[in-house]
Structure 1
Amino acid sequence: MEEPIEIMDREVKRLRNSRVPIFKVWWNSRRGLEFTWEREDQFKKKYPHLFTKTAPSSSAA
């Protein structure tokens, strides 16, 4: 199963009257390491756990 390792870059492609944000993703696949451009909205739907923010831990003095 392919798993994303890291988002390497982000761009916005212009298509006629719209703009499509895309990510360059580094994958670990059966064929070895590879890079692909993925639509941001679809990538976030498929891998939401990569975009969850964790609250910084605070220590009371």
Structure 2
Amino acid sequence: MSPYEALYGRKCRSSIHWDDVDERTEIGPDTIEQTSEAIKIIRDRMKTAQSRQKSYADSHHRDLNFEVGDHVFLKVEPMKGVMIFG
């Protein structure tokens, strides 16, 4: 039993084949066209969301200028994957 089936109580159906899992049909040009249109809509919505997030981040961004002799606090974290023994 797949995790999807255990969670939802039914077999997973892909977006291309909405029939029963045991019945497979040929992919027709209309199905390909519908899938292509859905992909275009998803890309447009992702681009809109990314633009909104970028404008929000840009509005809250501030440039920092430091001069010689300024005291600053640095947050230092170990590099990912580096293991220290001892």
- Structure-2-length-normalised TM-score: 0.25
Return the structure number with greater strand share: 1
- Structure-1-length-normalised TM-score: 0.31
| Structure whose alpha-carbon radius of gyration is higher | 2
Return the structure number with greater helix share: 2
